[in-house]
Chains A and B, each alone.
Chain A
Amino acid sequence: MNRAFLVLRDGRVFRGQPLGALGETWGEVIFNTAMSGYQEILTDPSYRGQIVAMTYPLIGNCGINGEDVESRKPWVNGFIVRECSPIASNFRSALSLDEYLRRHGVVGIQGIDTRALTHHLRDHGAQDGIISSVASDPADLSARARTLPGLIGRDLVAEVTVERAYTWSEGLWQLGRGYVAPPSPRFNVVAYDCGIKHNILRQLRMAGCEVTVVPAATSAEAVLEMRPHGVFLSNGPGDPEAVPYLIESVRRLLGRVPVFGICLGHQIMGLAGGGRTYKLKFGHHGANHPVKDLATGKVEITAQNHGFAVEPESVAGHGWEPTHVNLNDGTCEGLAHREWPAFSVQYHPEASPGPHDANYLFHRFTELMTRRGG
């Protein structure tokens, strides 16, 4: 039987079998507790630099289809599952998960005790690790794992952002119809692409926004020249502090145009607003996190995928107030400025994968643009 190893930076070794492409890969090992949506997770650019372990043990049951993608290709540095389904059973399935990973050169491992791994990461924190299906000695991998750089301070956005601006035209997915044609737009929105998920674009489009997607390094001036009704800051991988150029752009946009940020975009907003971010022990990656809207008191079940968070106290003095809080651990899930038309959330209202409870935020954005005379 073929062997594969997963070796963590702190020396913990898991022995399993290869998944996807044969080879070696490294990245920050994190766990995701979503029970469905592995295809969306694989293609979410926010996972750049990370090896994703799925806590649900049976993955790949529905195979891979041509529709459920969040970008043009898988971005994860590696993939870990307890058992990859040898059969893909779904009317939309085009190929098996294993085949898909192989085609895209994604190295993975299966057959390990993913619950033990999760338990370890929960207790010892997310950390770098190596998957290898070519090495014969895990000791050698351990030595190398200790030298891996971690996520802090690395600009991973540069690896995933688009090279040239483009406009988005696809609406949301509907059963039997695929991605539908959106209504005609009422707003012009410029979206900074830090690794934007397609479903954000689809949601914006359905909410009546004509969306121009621009590279993360686009200057505030260049954006303003496009005379947008609003600016959107996308999700993306890694440490927000490692993207100073974008923080600077946002600082200059705030107060001049309505701004809405999601995930990394939320952290960038916090930093641009004068606050600080910090790294969570093992982050939030899943589809079941309860978030309370502090204005209405209502609870949303949210999709989450982040390793860094904004310190709410750090922005409090700069006119920002928390709008949403995570009920599991009290972390900041949303910010809004008292005067400027700007707000952001740490979680993923676009879902995909995950619950649709927070879709309303896209309308909140269009309302904000409407109030600004858009």
Chain B
Amino acid sequence: MPKRTDLRKILIIGSGPIVIGQACEFDYSGTQALKALREEGFEVVLVNSNPATIMTDPELAQRTYVEPLTPEVVAKIIERERPEALLPTLGGQTGLNLAVALAEDGTLERFGVELIGAKLPAIRKAEDRQLFKQAMERIGQALPRSGYARSLDEARTIVRQVGYPAIIRPSFTLGGTGGSIAYGPDELEEAVRWGLQTSPVSTVLVEESVIGWKEFELEVMRDLADNVVIICSIENVDPMGVHTGDSVTVAPAQTLTDKEYQLMRDAAIAIIREIGVETGGSNIQFAVNPDDGRLVVIEMNPRVSRSSALASKATGFPIAKIAAKLAVGYTLDEIRNDITRETPASFEPAIDYCVVKFPRWAFEKFPEADRTLTTQMKSVGEVMAIGRTFKEALQKAVRSLEQDAWGLTLDRPVTDEELRHLLRVPTPDRVFAIGDAYRAGFTTQEVHALTRIDPWFLEGIREIVAFEPEIARAALADAEVMRRAKQLGFADRRIGALTGTTEAEVRRRRSAQGVVATFKMVDTCAAEFVAHTPYLYSTYEEEDEAPPTPRTKVVILGSGPNRIGQGVEFDYCCVHAAFALRDLGVEAIMVNCNPETVSTDYDTSDRLYFEPLTLEDVLNIVEKERPLGVVVQFGGQTPLKLAVPLREAGVPILGTSPDAIDRAEDRQRFNELITELGLRQAAGATARSLEEAQAIASSIGYPVLVRPSYVLGGRAMRIVYDAEDLREYMREAVQVSPAHPVLIDKFLEDAIEIDVDAVADAERVIVGGVMEHIEKAGVHSGDAACALPPYSLGEDQIETLRAQTKALAKALGVVGLINVQFAIRNETVYVLEVNPRASRTVPFVSKAIGLPLAKIATRAILGHSLEPYVAHDDRELTHIAVKESVFPFVKFPGVDAVLGPEMKSTGEVMGIDRDFRKAYLKSQIAAGSALPTSGKVFISVKNRDKRVVMTLAKRLVEMGFSLVATAGTARVLERHGMAVELVHKVAEGYGLNVIDLMKRGEIALLFNTPEDGRARQDSYLIRRTAVMQNVPYYLTVDGAQTAIGAIEALLKGEQQVQSLQEYHGGGA
């Protein structure tokens, strides 16, 4: 069937901010879809609140709305744009839920918008577990036995039939939020309460446990002619019981015979037909009983998913792009396979390598969180590795994680007893513990009994471990042993550790032995046809099939797995660098290992190396490609760490020199720079021991800000209020040593913080944006909300910041991007830090000002002048953009929601409008904080904030809110003539308290400024409840103040929506 001609304008909804369970894979899928639809001549309207995405680049759609993803807002956009169709299957669960809401509230019908891809009944059938169960019964597909409960009593009745352990799954939540496993009646009670609380419809599914069964996923595509193909099978190494997002997974499936695989394939085809997903990709999960092969369906996602991004990268088949084309009427056989060019997309990829996906967790950010892996996803990112064997791919994946793990070992002494525990209870350590278990003499039978992991995977790990003594014995002398070691995926660094030498020495010996990496192609067809897209991975085989081209080329190092502090923002910059290089006619070579990203799409760069970002793996590529140089400034800390070792290995680093980077990072050299320029910074020094730290702190005076040097995202950064605090910090959080110094600075209390992003060529510096933080100093810049342009600074202050930024960039010789963080206290400007590289805010600034900073930085790096952009340097904006952060607290019971100098947010949103309060309001709504216009406000602030809060309370009362407080705050409020509803303190343990009110849904807004240091434990439960009950809360006076302004704006008038193209004067 050809393309539909009755459609002209199509609306796509993105997935909003990065949260656990929904990350940049939807930027990848959305970007592919936008490109595909534009290629077909459709006008595309996009709405997504996340500015750190490629999809919100104004070039990709005709109209790009960076607006909150709520039904009201999207309805306004629909009314304004009048699209004929809405494609709901590419924006994750958020996009799908929004489409359902718009269909159900009649908006789509009112404006004549057709749902394409999946219609409402199909979405309902797949998403509503009851309807899904009925559908599966109709086609004879077995599911685990289960029942729905709206109360604990109902849950108990169901458990009598399904037995323990039982799985509790709340309806309509994301990434398994609120899901848990109950092994007995006590746990059931807790699990059901928790599940009912998290489910927006207060319903949980109580299900027969298939824990320990093998878990599989199939990625299925269907077109309007009812052709169905399976793109990829995925097998979870971790059996059922661990969320697939938290499981190590492998593609293709490894432990199924063809008979079993075809049963699954038949089931998948029957399911997509019965559910009625018309076109596009779906993901179907199965469990298989390892003892008898019994197959049950777990769930279906009627949309592209994290797994479809993985499947796309694992096979080379662009699921989202094809899904978009199918949605507008094409059939699979009408679409060419981009990679082979000759064959059609109506086929099932054949792969001739093994893919391993490994999740990346961020528990180091949440020490209080339970690290046990369950049915609720906890990881924040993932890596993918490709090898010719499972063993090779697994070891490549492990080193791709950038967690300083180079082999399958915990690298610490462990007792057998501890090992047994680590094997039995899944945590991020399990794979490493399996390696150590083999070293301790465990058998595969024992390891299997404890982990329930299929023996085939375990044997792979056993083989790796068993070869280590052979490496130690002979790898350096015997080329055959070295080759075998490399084929098993051993890193040079690990071989060095095993042979008692350095990575560099191993590399030297290995090259002399002639054991060098070869590169093979991901081509969808196992080499059956010629491939035209150089999408490559390394292995140790006979043939290297991708000789370098004679073109001028530049290598861009990507940012690796998403983690807190380094996420999609850096991928955005890398993608822009690739686009800029291609525009300049230079071959863009991308290196990255994150399957969720746009950077690892085969058509983003000219050549894609899907490889770990380690020195060894990057050198392999550089030695082969001989590029003009390597760009390290876009991918965050990952490539930056490699700058010096690469330069030492003789690799040219393009743009800002590694020496300049060092000058900005090294405390001593940085001090000299600041002095030289006559700028100011907070007093501080570097400590190499506890004694030194104490001496420094008492000389500059508490509070002080302490942190290890060379970190990103404020890892282990803390504000310390007294000597005891400092001692505790030095003992628990860091291991201070001459090699690992700790930085100690005077903490500038109540200072205003500012971020400035700029770009420089050899001669000029263009300031992209000056961003004023909403929260005062003490909240990590990655967590703080900020406004561009500043909302409270004077022109002269802004000019000072711009001038200082320029001076710093020039002094450092920055070529490319630079980010400077400032603090202003009592009219004095302090330089907090200088990052001569892409910062997290680059995409936000680019969207806010309408200038792609990373792209023009790339031009500068390649020696092109910034002259054409000087007009942007001091451009007045007629709008204001506010960035707000999004946090994962809801996923981590037991973790306090309070913010500090260590970054905790996973994603961000942007609110943009003509006036600050409106922009801020949008940012709050977009971040999921639905500001109220009436109701009860609970106020509980620390003593020093009480005075300020009076004015805020007055404004609230004037707007018609009523106040709730505990005795202390209430007395102050009453003294100022305000009526207050009194509640008991939580710690009192009796009477009605604010937690009870929140649970009853009676609190509309919460202001709580926690005490500093240890005293904040008292109010922890209040914040925790607000998180769980989704009560909008503000934990700083600045946040509260701004929120009140936003509420005033909300009460005053209707919200307007406008596209970026209109803000930037491009679109009509």
Give residues in A with beta carbon < 8 Å to B: 1, 14, 31, 33-37, 39-40, 55-58, 61-62, 65, 67-68, 82-83, 85-87, 89-92, 112-116, 118-119, 122, 173, 175-176, 286-290, 292, 297-299, 301, 327-329, 351-356
B342 touches A328 (CB 8 A): yes
User: Which of A35, A61, A83 lies at the interface centre, i.e. has the most chain B CB atoms within 10 A of its CB?
Assistant: A35
Partner of B252, one of A35, A55, A86, A298: A35
Check A327/B262 contact, CB under 8 A, given A68-B257, A87-B456.
Answer: no
Q: How far is the CA of A57 from the CA of B261 in the complex (A)?
A: 18
Q: Does B258 contact A (CB under 8 A)?
A: yes
Report 17 cross-chain contacts, Cβ distance below 8 Å, ordered by A residue: A39-B257, A55-B350, A56-B351, A56-B352, A83-B389, A87-B456, A115-B388, A116-B543, A286-B526, A288-B348, A288-B349, A298-B225, A299-B331, A301-B229, A352-B258, A355-B348, A356-B265
Q: For A58, what are the chain B residues with a Cβ–Cβ distance below 8 Å?
A: 254, 354, 389-390
Query: Which residue of B is nearest A57, CB measured?
Result: B388
A328 touches B347 (CB 8 A): yes
Partner of A115, one of B225, B254, B258, B543: B543
Say how far B1055's CB is from chain A's closest CB, in angstroms. Answer: 48
Which one of B58-66, B290-298, B714-722, B756-764 contacts A? B290-298
13 additional contacts, CB 8 Å, given A83-B388, A85-B456, A327-B333? A31-B527, A31-B528, A33-B352, A33-B525, A34-B258, A55-B352, A86-B459, A115-B541, A173-B259, A175-B295, A288-B350, A297-B225, A329-B342
B262 touches A354 (CB 8 A): yes
Check A328/B258 contact, CB under 8 A, given A56-B351, A113-B543, A115-B520.
Answer: no
* List of 7 A-B pairs having minimum Cβ-Cβ separation, nearest first: A37-B258, A116-B543, A353-B258, A113-B542, A89-B456, A55-B526, A33-B350
A112 touches B528 (CB 8 A): no
Q: For B293, what are the chain A residues with a Cβ–Cβ distance below 8 Å?
A: 91-92, 175-176
B543 touches A56 (CB 8 A): no
B255 touches A61 (CB 8 A): yes
Query: Which residue of B is nearest A85, CB measured?
Result: B456
Q: How far is the CA of A67 from the CA of B456 in the complex (A)?
A: 21
B350 touches A35 (CB 8 A): yes
Say how far B272's CB is from chain A's closest CB, in angstroms. Answer: 14
Say how far A115's CB is from chain B's closest CB, in angstroms. Answer: 5
Check A14/B350 contact, CB under 8 A, given A55-B527, A89-B455, A352-B258.
Answer: no
Q: For B260, what are the chain A residues with a Cβ–Cβ distance below 8 Å?
A: 175
User: Which of B255, B259, B351, B541 lies at the interface centre, i.e. has the most chain A CB atoms within 10 A of its CB?
Assistant: B259
Partner of A286, one of B254, B350, B459: B350
Partner of B527, one of A36, A119, A173: A119
B257 touches A90 (CB 8 A): yes
Say how far B968's CB is from chain A's closest CB, in angstroms. Answer: 65
A61 touches B344 (CB 8 A): no
Query: Which residue of B is nearest A175, CB measured?
Result: B293
B258 touches A36 (CB 8 A): yes
Q: How far is the CA of A89 from the CA of B448 in the complex (A)?
A: 12
Q: How far is the CA of A114 from the CA of B262 in the complex (A)?
A: 25
A356 touches B259 (CB 8 A): no
Partner of A328, one of B254, B354, B459, B529: B529
A61 touches B254 (CB 8 A): yes
Q: For B520, what are the chain A residues with a Cβ–Cβ distance below 8 Å?
A: 115
Q: Does B332 contact A (CB under 8 A)?
A: yes
Q: For B263, what are the chain A residues with a Cβ–Cβ distance below 8 Å?
A: 175
B227 touches A176 (CB 8 A): no
Q: For B254, what are the chain A residues with a Cβ–Cβ distance below 8 Å?
A: 58, 61
B525 touches A65 (CB 8 A): no
Say how far A121's CB is from chain B's closest CB, in angstroms. Answer: 9
Q: For A351, what are the chain B residues with a Cβ–Cβ distance below 8 Å?
A: 262
A68 touches B258 (CB 8 A): yes
B526 touches A33 (CB 8 A): yes
Partner of B528, one of A56, A286, A356: A286
Query: Which residue of B is nearest A41, CB measured?
Result: B258
Q: For A292, what are the chain B residues with a Cβ–Cβ distance below 8 Å?
A: 333
Query: Which residue of B is nearest A286, CB measured?
Result: B350
Q: In the complex, how many residues of chain B place their beta carbon closer than 8 angstroms to a beta carbon of chain A? A: 61
Query: Which residue of A is nearest B290, CB measured?
Result: A91
A56 touches B347 (CB 8 A): no
Say how far A289's CB is from chain B's closest CB, in angstroms. Answer: 7
Q: How far is the CA of A345 from the CA of B249 in the complex (A)?
A: 38
B542 touches A57 (CB 8 A): no
Say how far B531's CB is from chain A's closest CB, in angstroms. Answer: 10
Q: How far is the CA of A68 from the CA of B256 in the complex (A)?
A: 12
Q: For B128, what are the chain A residues with a Cβ–Cβ distance below 8 Å?
A: none
Say how far B185's CB is from chain A's closest CB, in angstroms. Answer: 33
Partner of B352, one of A36, A89, A114, A355: A114
Say how far A34's CB is from chain B's closest CB, in angstroms. Answer: 8
Query: Which residue of B is nearest A172, CB measured?
Result: B259
Say how far A331's CB is from chain B's closest CB, in angstroms. Answer: 12
A115 touches B352 (CB 8 A): yes
| Contact bitstring B334-367, A, C-beta under 8 A = 1, else 0 | 0000000011101111111110000000000000
Q: Does B587 contact A (CB under 8 A)?
A: no
Say how far B958's CB is from chain A's closest CB, in angstroms. Answer: 67
Query: Which residue of B is nearest A55, CB measured?
Result: B526
A89 touches B255 (CB 8 A): yes
Say how far B853's CB is from chain A's closest CB, in angstroms. Answer: 41
Say how far B163's CB is from chain A's closest CB, in angstroms. Answer: 21
Q: For A87, what are the chain B residues with a Cβ–Cβ distance below 8 Å?
A: 444, 455-456, 459
Say how far B254's CB is from chain A's closest CB, in angstroms. Answer: 5
Q: For B39, what are the chain A residues with a Cβ–Cβ distance below 8 Å?
A: none
Partner of B291, one of A57, A91, A122, A290: A91
Q: For B480, what are the chain A residues with a Cβ–Cβ distance below 8 Å?
A: 1
Say how far B483's CB is from chain A's closest CB, in angstroms. Answer: 11
B257 touches A176 (CB 8 A): no
A57 touches B347 (CB 8 A): no
Query: Which residue of A is nearest B227, CB measured?
Result: A299
A65 touches B258 (CB 8 A): no
Q: How far is the CA of A56 from the CA of B258 in the complex (A)?
A: 13
Q: How far is the CA of A292 from the CA of B259 in the complex (A)?
A: 24
Check A118/B257 contact, CB under 8 A, given A1-B480, A298-B227, A328-B347.
Answer: no
Say how far B314's CB is from chain A's closest CB, in angstroms. Answer: 12
Q: Does B505 contact A (CB under 8 A)?
A: no
A354 touches B344 (CB 8 A): no
Query: Which residue of B is nearest A60, CB measured?
Result: B456
B527 touches A176 (CB 8 A): no
B257 touches A56 (CB 8 A): no
B348 touches A301 (CB 8 A): yes
Query: Which residue of A is nearest B260, CB measured?
Result: A175
Q: For A1, what are the chain B residues with a Cβ–Cβ distance below 8 Å?
A: 480
Q: How far is the CA of A274 from the CA of B931 in the complex (A)?
A: 80
Query: Which residue of B is nearest A62, CB measured?
Result: B257
Q: Does B913 contact A (CB under 8 A)?
A: no
A35 touches B257 (CB 8 A): no
Q: For B456, what are the chain A residues with a Cβ–Cβ distance below 8 Å?
A: 61, 85, 87, 89
Say how far B232's CB is from chain A's closest CB, in angstroms. Answer: 10
B343 touches A327 (CB 8 A): yes
Say how far B14's CB is from chain A's closest CB, in angstroms. Answer: 32
Query: Which residue of A is nearest B353, CB measured?
Result: A57
B225 touches A327 (CB 8 A): no
Within 8 A of A (CB), among B712-767: none
A90 touches B255 (CB 8 A): yes
Q: For A113, what are the chain B residues with a Cβ–Cβ distance below 8 Å?
A: 541-543
A89 touches B454 (CB 8 A): yes
User: Which of A176, A288, A329 lies at the interface centre, i.e. has the most chain B CB atoms within 10 A of its CB?
Assistant: A288
Q: How far is the CA of A286 from the CA of B347 in the complex (A)?
A: 12
Say how far B715's CB is from chain A's closest CB, in angstroms. Answer: 38
Q: Does B468 contact A (CB under 8 A)?
A: no
Q: For A119, what are the chain B residues with a Cβ–Cβ distance below 8 Å?
A: 527, 543, 545
A299 touches B257 (CB 8 A): no
Q: For A91, what are the chain B residues with a Cβ–Cβ distance below 8 Å?
A: 290-293
Query: Which residue of B is nearest A359, CB measured?
Result: B266
Q: For A56, what are the chain B residues with a Cβ–Cβ distance below 8 Å?
A: 252, 350-352, 526
Within 8 A of A (CB), among B522-553: 525-530, 541-543, 545
